[in-house]
Structures are given as C-alpha cells and as structure tokens.
Structure 1
C-alpha cells in the first residue's frame, strides 16, 4: 500500500524559541512566523471555498497568482484579510442574530479581495463586489464612493487594458493606477514611509477596510489630508525614538508591522490600541498624545503580534486550561482575566517595561515621568507573574517563557529609581490592586451576614468566617481603576494646567474619567484632605469601591488608624460587603473608619 507524502510542518528552531521566550524576536524569526501565517491563511481560504464555493473570486485569485504570485501573497498576508477570513468562518460555524452586515456581504468580500489582486497583477476581469453604505472598499487599494441605494448592495469592478472602474447603476468611478493615487470618487489607501535608508518603516495607514478594526468590522471612515499628515509626522517621530532606543525591536518591526488603523484621539494618557491573532501585522491605534506614546504603543502591540504568531504554532497552556473558570488579577485591566489573557498581557507589558527602562536613560534627570512609568510597570508585571508562576496548566514552553520573563523582571526590580517617582509608582500599583479587590472579590454571604449581626451586637471583632478566601466575581461597575495613576501622570506631565491639584482638586479630578476628588488629593500627597474627601463620598455612596480603597491609602499615608488602614489596604472587599449589608439590615451605614478598624482588629500587625 503506497504511503502518501506528508506535508511539511512549520517549526521554530531552538534559537528562535529562545528569542521569543525572552520577549524578543529577530527579523529571521519573524520571517519564520510569517511563513506559518501564510500557510494558515491559505488553509482558511480553502476552508471558506469548501463551505461557500467562491467561484469567480477563486478563479480570479488563481489567475492573479499565475500572473504575479507576489501580489496575491501581499493581499493574502494583509492583516485585514486574516481578520475577514477568521471572522467569516466563525460566523458560518455559529450564525448570530445580528443584522449588519448581512452574511452575504461578509462572504462576498472575497470578491473585493480578488478584484484588488487582479488590479495589482494587471489582469483583465469583471466581478461583482459588495457595496457598504455607498462605499466599495478594495483591500490594500482604497475605496470608491457611489450613490447609496441602500445599506447593502453590489457594484461591478471591471479592468481592461490597464483601465479599471467601479460601476453601479448610478455612477462610474475610475480607479487610478498605480495604487495610492487619489481621484474623483476614489479614496486611496495611504502608504507611510518613515526613517532613513535601510532603516525605513513602511506601513499602510488604513482608514477604509471594513476589517481594519478588532474584533468587529466597521465601515470606512477616510481621514482628511490634515489628519493623515499628522499621523505621518508623529509616526516619523516615534520611529526615530525606536531606532535610537530599541534598534533590535525596530528592525523586527520593519518585517512584522504591516498596517496601522487609526481611530479618534482618546483622553490624555489613555490611548486605545488593539491587535488580533487573526490579523498578524495589523495594529488598531487611537491618535496618540505624542511620539513617545505612539512608540510605546507600537512596542506593546508588536509584543502581542509576536506572541499571537507563536501561539498559532504551539500552545503555552495544555488543553486542561481551555474554558476554565479561573480568573486572575491583571494590573493593566479593570476586569478579571483568564490565564491565556493574563499571559498575553504579561508578554506585552514586559515589552513596555523594557521600553521605559531604556527611555529613562535619555531623559532629563529631573524628568520623573519615565522613571515613574518604568517603576510602575515593572511592579505590575512582577505582580502578575507571581500569581501564575508554576501553574500546572503551563506547557513546558509556557513555563520556560514565564520563568525567563520572571528572571528578567527580577533583575529590573533591582534597578535604582529616584525616590519621588518610585514612591508614586508603589502608591499607584498598590492602589490599583486594592480597587480591583474591592470590586471583584466577594466574601461569602453567610459570613457577611454573621459579621453584620456581630457588629450590631457590639462584639469585640468580626467572626473568623469573614477571613475565608473570597470568590472572584465580575463586577460590571469596575471601570477606570487606573485613575490614580492617570492623575499622577497629569501631575508629572509638565503642563502648567497639570499642576493645579493642590488648589483645585475637583477640577483636577474632573479631567480624568472615573477619578474622585480624594484621588486628586492623594496623588499630590495631601492625605488628610484625601481622607475627608473619601469619607464624604462614602456618606453618599456607601458601596463605592474606589472610595473604600482610597480611604485605606489615605489612612496609610497619614499614619493614622492603623487597624483601619491595614484592613482597607489588604481586604477592602470585606468593608464594602459588610457596609452594604449593614445598610440593608439597619437602614443606615456605619462610620467607615470605625467599621474598618473593627474589621481590621483581627488582622496581624506587620512585623
């Protein structure tokens, strides 16, 4: 019986795996990952053809590949192609009730993909493609604007003898060639090139592909020329920072970052950026505050990109971890995270910590921001890793990766940091963890009820049952747990209006979504005023988790009410749960400091 030949498998050699476990990755390693991603895309496209019979689109892609294989490779490896493929296959496997876009628009996007490949390969063709709210996007090229006769219709893309058009019953739009050329009714995708000579970064600034945003598609939103020019300028500045301070990372990025999908600016110091394992090489990013913030964001998301590529080749967790109910504290998130998500965050924020460690060397000695960021993120990463170090569901590679990153972080924890930013970083790291506990940890209800009865009877302390390990329960109200760190950044940020907090704490807090007046006072070290502000908030909102956590920090900073401070800094969830139950049982809340001191009377004093 003849033995069928086996297909080659993608493998990473030991050296490449060692690079990735250190949080690094050379251009050669990126090439290996990209080769595996190409095979994955081809497999997904074959699965989609088996499920839907792509017909004319498949034929056009095949013709374009015969004419110019590199063109089809470029279109296939475009990040948005991966996002579309994976999303459409998921939708076919598990149809949902959502109305937009209709399924045929998602599946029909393959025709737009084929049209783009055909145009770039220079073949003649005619094919029907979806129209989305009056726009006809062609991946990697741009989009045409046509009269909207409905939210979802079709248009014809026709190419003949070097001329190409998009046709609908009401309009004909010429597609200018070569790519990147604008024209009437045609918005070309912009390609940005920044950096000198052989250190150039070339990326697409994609504002029109529906699958440029993660995890859900959005319709095209073309940028103005002024906005695009601003993106080009800040990207050039960010790239200069990376070339100077992270040259090895920058060299790998040149091979592994393909597109940036711009979104609107966010609140200062709170950018939004997203990547997806399905969209290798693509980064969705909000308009940054400055070049350094964009440089940090690129490092952050490139870490996710590398790890996503690795995970397509080999798992970091065994099958027993799939779908588990275990949730963990992630210091960069408001919500509890599954183990896989926590590992993603650890990998990404190791990159951010490494960035700030290098960046602070080039800052002015009196510039505290970079020192603060380095000290904060090394503390956060160390906290996250200590939770899951040695977890039984880690594969050997997962354990090696975590051990390697943990050892590196341990070295960073020894690096000296100036006193003021170090103290602020420790304050913010502890505050975030305390707020998270106050929101997401739940003491057992019977123990809370027993504690309420003990309080009302005037007993000397809480029952032992309250000290049992609490459950992790998602609190949907947990938002903006990083507010204190944001206020510290405003204080260190250097603008004149950032330094008003001692006189105008309410105005300072109002600039940071989710911040309380007490947070603004705590950020500048006014512990007594912060205590009073938190007490005032708890009088109005007895269950406000952030106020309980902040009250504990203010008491600790002031050195007063040590029992209450210990309880609120270590176990704020107990005070919040008991106060809430007291309000139900007695109709009025207890004095927060007195209650916390009573609850903390049974805690051991620090040595």
Structure 2
C-alpha cells in the first residue's frame, strides 16, 4: 500500500451537486461520494501508519491489495472501518468526546483484524496476532470467533494455510468456515440480508459483531438470536417494498449507499432510535422497528445524513468559525442545537417530509397517521429552516442548499391536508416549541426578581423588564418534549382503542413516557370533542403536585386557548411560557407556597 498511486482529486459534477442541494441524489452521485470516502480512508490510514507504524498489519494489507485490490477496497469502504479509523486517530490525539475503556493497544490493534479479514478474502496464507475482546475476536466484514476468555483484553492468532483459516487463543481453536458467511462452532458470521427483486435488490450487512458498528461509541460484539435476525429480515423486506413502490429513485440510490445496518433492541413504540456518523459512510445504527413503514422512514432519515456527510467531506457548507456557541431550536430534539446540528437536521427532515408526502397516498388504514406526519414535519422543518435564513456563516453553497430546501418546504406548506390532521399537527408543533421554551429559555434573573417583588406588592402588572430577550441555557433534564405528538400517534394508529381517553387518562398517559394525564385530556379534545375545561383544570393540579414541572405550563396554555376563559393567560403561556415558569419557581422559593398558575399567568399576560 506504500507504493499506491496518488489519490484522485474528487469533484461533484453540477448535476450531482444540484441533486444533493435539493435533498436528493441518484446512484451515480452516491457512487461519487463513496469513491471520495475510499480516498479519505486511505489518507486516514496513512496518517495512522505515520503516527504508530502499523508494521505487519500494513504489510499484510499491502499483500492483499497486490493479490486482490477489490478485496481491500471492500474492507476499506465498509462503514465500520471508517468509524474505527476516526476513533483510533482521536484516541491517539486525545480529542475524543466519549469515554472509552478499551485499551489503546486494542483500538490500534484492530488494524490487524482488518488485515486478516482482507487477507482471508484475498486467499493469502498468513499468520497474524489480533485483539481479543472479552473472549471474542471480530474479523471485519466476515464475522466473529468466540474463544475462552483468560482476560478482558488479550490477543488471539489468526492463521490461514491452503484455504483453511483458524483463530487460536488460550489453547482453543475456532475454525473459520470456508464460506465465512456460514455459522460454525464458535463462529458467528456477519449476516448479509438481500431483499427485493433482481435488479432492484438491496444487499446490506446486518452487523451485530463489529465493535465499531455503534456510533460513535464502540460496543462489544453481541450476536443476535436467530429469531431476532429473522424478524429483521422480514421487516426489512417489507420496508424495502414500501420504498421501491413509493420512492424508487431514493431506493435506487440506497442500493449504492446503504452498506450496513447495526441492530439495537426495540424501544418505546413510536420512539425508535437511529444514528449515523460522517465517519461511517453507508452505516446505520437502528433500534428494532415497530413496523416496516417506521423502518422505511428510518432508512430515508439516515440516508439523508449519509449523503450530507459525504458532501461535507467534499465541500464546506459552513465557514470554519460556524461553531460560535449559538444554539437554536430544533423541533425534532429535546435539546438546543448548534448551527452544524441544525444543518444536519433540516436535511434529514426534508427527506422525512418527502417520505410522508408520498406515503400518505397509499397508507391504507394508516392514512390518518400519514397525513398527520406530513403536516407535522413540513411545519417543523419550515420553522427550522426559517431560523437559518441568510445565516452569515453559511458558505455560498450552504446558502444555496438552505434556500433550495426552504423553497421546497414552502411548496409543501401549500399542499392540502385534512383539517383534523392539520389541527393536530399545529397543536403538537406549538406544544413542542412551548415545552422547549419552558426548559431552555431563561428570562433575565434581575427581571424575574423585580417581577416577584411586584407580585408580592400587589402591582397591577409585571415590570417591562420581564419582556427582555431570554437567554438560551441548556436544561439537561429536558426529556420527551414530543409526548403530545406521541399520544396522537397512539390514538390515530389502526390498533387504537376508540373509547374516549377522558375515561382513563392516567392509563393512557402511562403508555407514553413523559406524558401527563392532562396531555391525554388535551389530545382527546381535538380527537373526540372532549372537555377542554377538564384539561385546563388538570394542568394546574399537576403544577400543584410538582411545581417545578416545566412541561405542564405549555399544555395549560393550549388548554386555556381552547376554553377561551382566560385569554391573557393563554396568550402568555402559548408564546412565553418560560416567564411563567421562572416567576412561579421564584415565588415558590421566596414564599414556600406556589401561586395559582392561571391567576399568575393572567397577571403576567397583562404586559
């Protein structure tokens, strides 16, 4: 590999760049991105060799490349190889943001496992020592051997002679099957899933054994059960049918750009977790999905991140000083986000909005959910894009991308949506924003103190100082700000119980982490014509029980707006709930007694 020719200079043609700016990107464009990732990883590998001298592993990789260049390329462009390279270089330079208890020699020694995998694929005879992690020896792109563990971190030896390969350690031996994709005693193959018809087939690794399959923190190999692996295959087959039918262009590009899925356990219904990394082009970490449509949406979401990550390695979209500490409201997150995070989010959720825009035409019994999702995400994405309008730290290409995405989203805002879905989407979008404000916006401390004194003195209105611009202060306790939208999804789903939730709000809330019984009553108002007054009474009861629960202020504002009984309080809580929270908590600290929330919000709303 030392004698390799100079790497090519990668450029995206105007047509490919135009596709990516629009949030799209066909197979040829994805191939160009993948080619640039190969070159990037070769450069990172060279850097690592210069820093550490990879020795026998480098020599074995070079021999494999001479025998079979395509084999080394296969190992090199595998997503987890990119994740390992980035991890190793960050560990060496002390710039990693995560605590990793893996010894550095094990991290660096992973290159020997890569070399062994490449050499096995190339049919070479060799012997090399590789790291063993808690009794398991992963060979990237092939599988994982399991041997008796004499220590958490030690080494094993991989030998290959005349087509027969073994992994040896502590007097035990595991034979690598001649077809490594087959299981054997002590050998867990890397499963490969192939779904879809000939010519339109998705081929992807279901990676449960590579330690760098989880982003961005490594995880030890955890082979799936046959039952779980079979479930993943079934749901992926059906998800791929959805994408082939509804988004064939996107599916065509995914066939080139999705290389592995790293499965993790299922999560709460409607709250899947999925992750990609710019260092692991083509890799997706995803929790076991609820259903095929959810997985299809997840693939779209993470493929957007994949494409944008590849583009960012070729052309900057933000200037070098973009991380100026300023934080923004991201409607899909619980926490405030920096500019770079916002860029990733709007790109991903443009793809999500497009998915639901298309899927609602063929959603069948899930049509109501699909209309709601489209209405919600077009609203949320448009709101995020508006925050980034004409941002001074966008490069010319970045400005073009953001403007193009905003124009596309604006057209979606003009599309007709059933009135009930639109109303639910507006409610959930507004509620999420209000909850976020309650958690992360802080009125000036001096203004809050003045307001407390004015309240205690019986003033007719609060001081004007309370209307000063609040500061964004990340509240790490913020969780599940999307609870109202989750309740809506539960209610609109085809398996939902049609009985009014008002009958058992506690039971309904228990099914959604972070939801209050009052939230259930609020959703019930719009879905079944429930009693808004009951919801408006329930939120103050929550605040009386837990005076420092920020999310109750947001729901109270929506409930009061529906009852039209306290317009000043409703207006204040819908638009500036952080003022009520701050003053309410300060009054509790000062007097030990929480004031009536509606009375306080009405008084605050007079300013």
The residue that corresponds to 2:360 in the other structure is 360
2:155 counterpart residue number: 154
Name the counterpart of 2:269. 268
- Cα distance in 2, alignment partners of residues 240 and 99 from structure 1: 39
Match of 1:462 in 2: 462
Match of 1:306 in 2: 307
Question: Which residue of 1 is the match for residue 73 of structure 2?
Answer: 73
Does structure 2 retain, via aligned residues, the 8 Å contact 1:521–1:530? yes
Is the counterpart of residue 532 in structure 1 residue 537 in structure 2? yes
Q: 3-state SS of the aligned residue for 1:90?
A: helix
Q: Root-mean-square deviation (CA), in Å?
A: 1.4
1:67 Cα deviation from its structure 2 partner: 0.7
Q: 2:552 aligns with which of 540, 544, 547?
A: 547
Matched, 1:131 2:132: yes
Show the counterpart of 1:316: 317
C-alpha displacement of 1:496:
4.1
SS in 1 for 2:602: helix
How much has 1:14 moved relative to structure 2?
A: 1.1
Q: Is the 8 A contact 2:366 2:493 kept in 1?
A: no
Task: Report deviation, 1:170.
Answer: 2.7
Contact 2:150–2:170 at 8 Å: present in 1 too? no
Q: Distance in 2 between matches of 1:363 and 1:325?
A: 42
Q: C-alpha distance in 1, partners of 2:570/2:332?
A: 24
CA–CA distance in 1 between the matches of 2:233 and 2:363? Answer: 24
Instruction: Give me the whole-angstrom Cα distance separating, in 2, the residues matched to 1:557 and 1:269.
Output: 27
* Equivalent residue, structure 2, for 1:591: 596
User: Conserved in 2, the CA contact under 8 Å of 1:146 and 1:170?
Assistant: no
Say whether the 8 Å CA contact 1:500–1:508 is kept in structure 2.
Answer: no
Q: Which residue of 2 aligns with 1:105?
A: 106
CA contact (8 A) 2:335 2:474 kept: yes
CA distance in 1, matches of 2:306, 2:365: 34
Cα deviation for residue 19 of structure 1 reads 0.4
Deviations 1:104-150 (A, max 9, x none): 00000000000000000000000000000010000011101100101
Which segment is superposed worse, 175-184 or 98-107?
Answer: 98-107
Could you tell me how far 1:557 is from its partner in structure 2?
1.5
TM-score (norm 2): 0.97
**Using the alignment, how far apart are the partners of 2:145 and 2:6 within structure 1?**
45
Cα-to-partner distance string for 1:280-337 (whole Å, 9 max, x where unaligned): 000000000000000000000000000000000111111221x311000000000000
Aligned residue in 1 for 2:49: 49
Q: How is 1:427-446 mapped onto 2 (pairs within 5 angstroms)?
A: 427-446=427-446
Q: Write the distance in 2 (CA, Å) between the matches of 1:552 and 1:95.
A: 44
Equivalent residue, structure 2, for 1:143: 144
The CA distance in 2 between the partners of 1:356 and 1:212, in whole Å, is: 29
- Contact 1:382/1:406 (<8 A) preserved: yes
What displacement does 1:367 show?
Answer: 3.0
Distance in structure 2 (CA, Å) of the matches to 1:528 and 1:158: 74
- Alignment match, 2:18: 18
Q: Any idea what the Cα deviations from partners look like across 1:364-413, whole Å, max 9, x if unmatched?
A: 38831000000000000000011111111110000000000100100000
Inter-partner Cα distance in structure 1 for 2:366 and 2:297: 21
C-alpha distance in structure 1 between counterparts of 2:570 and 2:548, whole Å: 18
Identify the residue that residue 605 of structure 1 maps to in structure 2.
none
Q: Tell me how far 1:16 sits from its aligned partner.
A: 0.9
Alpha-carbon distance, 1:13 to partner = 1.3
Partner of 2:518: 518
SS in 2 for 1:533: helix
Query: Structure 1's 411 and 496: CA in aligned 2 closer, same or farther, altered over 3 A?
Result: closer
Aligned to 1:369: 369
- The unaligned stretches of length 5 or more in structure 2 are 526-530
Report if aligned partners of 2:490, 2:496 keep a CA contact under 8 Å in 1.
no
Are the aligned partners of 2:365 and 2:494 in contact in 1 as well (CA < 8 Å)? no
Quickly say closer, same or farther: Cα 1:147–1:7, change in 2 above 3 A: closer
> Are residues 231 and 87 of structure 1, via their aligned partners in 2, closer, same or farther at CA, if it must alter by over 3 Å?
same
Aligned length: 597
Specify every segment of 5 or more residues in structure 1 that has no aligned partner in the other structure, as ranges: 603-607
**Alpha-carbon distance in structure 1 between the residues aligned to 2:118 and 2:511:** 48
Q: Retained in 1: the 8 A contact 2:443–2:469?
A: yes
